[in-house]
Amino acid sequence: MNLLDLFKRRGSAPVARERLQVLLAYERRNRSQPDLVSVLREEIMAVIARHVQIDQDYLQVSMDRGETMSTLEIDIQIPNKSARPLAMSA
Amino acid sequence: MGKVVVVTSGKGGVGKTTSTAALGAAVARTGKKVALVDFDVGLRNLDLIMGAERRVVFDLVNVIQGTAKLSQALIRDKRVETLFLLPASQTRDKDALTEEGVGEVIEKLSSVFDYVFCDSPAGIERGAQLAMRFADEAVIVTNPEVSSVRDSDRIIGLLDARTVKAERGEQIAKHVLVTRYDAARAARGEMLSIDDVLEILSTPLLGIIPESQDVLKASNLGSPVTLSDPTNSAARAYIEAAKRLEGEELPVVVPFERKGFLDRLFGRRAA
Ligand SMILES: Nc1ncnc2c1ncn2[C@@H]1O[C@H](COP(=O)(O)OP(=O)(O)OP(=O)(O)O)[C@@H](O)[C@H]1O
Ligand SMILES: [Mg+2]
């Protein structure tokens, strides 16, 4: 939104409209197929789980879905003792 | 242990979600740790009202089914550090919630948070009963209108019969929160009065929230009305109600129609 828009459209309705557009675009897409961000999340976690045992308590996943861009943040704390590859013990 | 408060009504659309967000944010602003739990499975809305809809990763059903930890599903509010949201899922399967699962989640939450607010779905069926099941207190959201008062009465009956507390023979603390109160219509005698509502329900009053454009504005912005502009009349009424919920003794003032010079000139709608 540029400065001119700010002056042209006042009030809270434009904000509501934009929020809904982003949300509904996402929800409609997901009715037919899982969204990319969720797929990435699942696969990244699976890869990590193959190499280290992660305690779910040390794992935080956050997302922020935007109109043109979304962010996915996966924050994992890996305790050094459990950071050995699982493949070794198998 | 924190207090578990269910926000319930029976009737739909009376202001439960609005009130959950507004009361929860008002309490959290004072530094208390607050969790808001959306029980409206399939029709979640609390995330939108809180402005957190873009950040939902996991939800209540994920936690109950064990696919996510509670700590992973809780979304921290961006404005108030001590305020958290546990979203409902969008699944169509209403039986995704089990009583056992809900009990565990509520127990964990109440061991960490000072307040756990449960936003009930409308109706008196399973979803509404699960939302109230583990509550210590109830906020019964009522509009000054016959069908809403009637449904509140039914909900009060359920609170006294179907909650764990009631089954143990204890009393669940109940408070009526009258919302969408229109002082002009009350002055014209077109709306049940506060006294009528309280007399019929014989339950103490937590507050009176006026009908206000600011509520719509706040939901457009994705902010509880008590955070977006704490000075407007609805926000002030919610902040006072939150204080009463915390045990403060504040008299409730019934909003009245102020007929000023402009009102007389241009009709009553000026404000
Ligand atoms: N004090 C108020 N003044 C004006 N509008 C209000 C007020 N309180 C609630 N509303 C509006 O009433 C509508 C219903 O509110 P809300 O979603 O909070 O109700 P609900 O009880 O949670 O509904 P449901 O039963 O569907 O879950 C919303 O559009 C909301 O903006
Ligand atoms: Mg609701």
CATH code of A35's domain: 3.30.1070.10
- Assign residue B72 a region (left: φ > 0; alpha: ψ between -120 and 50; beta: otherwise): alpha
Q: What is the pLDDT of residue A36?
A: 77
Domain membership flag for residue A26: yes
Q: Set out the domains of chain B in order of their start, with CATH numbers.
A: 1-249 (3.40.50.300)
Nearest to B72 among A12, A19, A56 (CB): A56
Tell me what the mean pLDDT of segment B183-197 comes to.
Answer: 89
pLDDT digits (tens, 9 = 90+) for B245-262: 999 999 998 988 665 555
pLDDT > 60? residue A88: no
pLDDT digits (tens, 9 = 90+) for B131-158: 999 999 999 999 999 999 999 999 999 9
Domain membership flag for residue A32: yes
B79-109 in b/e form (b: 16+ CB < 10 A) is ebebbbbbbbbbeeeeebbeeebbeebbebb
Pull the structure tokens for residue B130.
């699960």
| Number of independent structural domains in chain A | 1
Question: pLDDT tier at A89 (50, 70, 90 boundaries)?
Answer: very low
Residue-range definition of the domain harbouring residue A55:
16-76
Question: pLDDT tier at A21 (50, 70, 90 boundaries)?
Answer: confident
Tell me what the mean pLDDT of segment B226-239 comes to.
Answer: 95
Distance in angstroms (rounded) separating the CA atoms of residues B219 and B170: 37
Is-contact B166 B160, C-beta < 8 A?
A: yes
**Whether B76 contacts chain A with CB within 8 A:** no
Nearest CA to ligand 1 atom 23: B13
Q: What is the pLDDT of residue B239?
A: 98
Domain membership flag for residue A42: yes
pTM (two decimals):
0.89
Q: What is the pLDDT of residue B268?
A: 47
The verdict on a CB contact (< 8 Å) between A62 and B217 is: no
